[in-house]
Amino acid sequence: MKKIVFFDIDGTLLDQEKKLPRSTKKAIQLLKENGVFVAIATGRAPFMFTSLRKELDIDSYVSFNGQYVVFENEAIYKNPLKQSELERFQLDTKTNEHPLIFMNELTMKATTHYHPYIETSMGSLLFPHPDEDRSFFIDNEIYQSLLFCKENEEKFYFENFPEFDFIRWHPYSVDILPKGGSKAEGIKKMIDRLGFDLKDVYAFGDGLNDLEMLKAVGTGVAMGNGVHEAKALANLVTTDVSEDGIWNGLKELQLI
């Protein structure tokens, strides 16, 4: 029976220092040798994990938390944010002095030349502050936006933008997605293409943006370093990412 495993990146494939543990790389190689299909499911944009895909030789992925799905280097599903709503959103964030980042599959642009919240949040992913381009969303399809504000300050947007979903990933930053968009939806698009059954689908994750994915697949695995909500939903909780979490989880599932 053909199986597929989806891996989140931050806190799952990569440790807290954004490094790929040696045991994880070996586990992915073994999975492939065992005939298991391997894919990535991440909140990141494709341009943010090019080197990781190359290192692991993975060419199928769910990115932007499900809004841009690629199967063997071909985009098979795109779900951009609605431009008219983005325009309204941008006006409100400007009034509230909350900067934004707009992202497509190739790059990202900010609504300001510099902001400490952007520098701190993006720095945690080891990315520099993006260049400024306030109108980037007008000429490009935007699959995810990032809102920069303190916790609870996003409440205004929850109430005024029902067409968007909001997921906080950093004390200073919130992901903005199309309503109903999630890694789970992106995974469904991919497995429909492959003709797989959900019961043969496995997923490893650690964060709040992994909850739908862990719930939707046949077997959801939470990392030992994962949030409480992910562990509560998962079928299995493995060890910390820096304590061979991927290796141990795959061993326990008898996939390697």
93-112 tens-digit pLDDT: 999 999 999 999 999 999 99
Question: Which residues are marked as active site?
Answer: 8
pLDDT, tens only, 133-183: 999 999 999 999 999 999 999 999 999 999 999 988 899 999 999 999 899
pLDDT at 7: 98
- C-alpha distances (whole Å) from 157 to each of 11, 26, 94, 122 are 28, 43, 12, 21
Q: Give 198's pLDDT tier (boundaries 50, 70, 90).
A: confident
Task: Name the CA radius of gyration of the chain, rounded.
Answer: 18
pLDDT of residue 162: 96
Bridge-partner residues for 38, per DSSP?
A: 5
Name the strands in the sheet holding 61-63, side by side, starting at the edge strand that comes first in the sequence.
74-78, 68-71, 61-63, 37-41, 4-7, 201-205, 219-222, 236-237
What is the reported pTM?
A: 0.91
> DSSP state, 31?
H
Domain chopping of the chain, boundaries: 4-78+181-252, 83-178
What is the pLDDT at residue 236?
98
Class of domain 83-178: alpha beta
Q: What's the confidence (pLDDT) of residue 167?
A: 87
* pLDDT, averaged across the chain: 96
According to CATH, the topology of domain 4-78+181-252 is: Rossmann fold (3.40.50)
What's the average model confidence in pLDDT over 14-26? 97
Q: Token match 């502050």: residue? A: 129
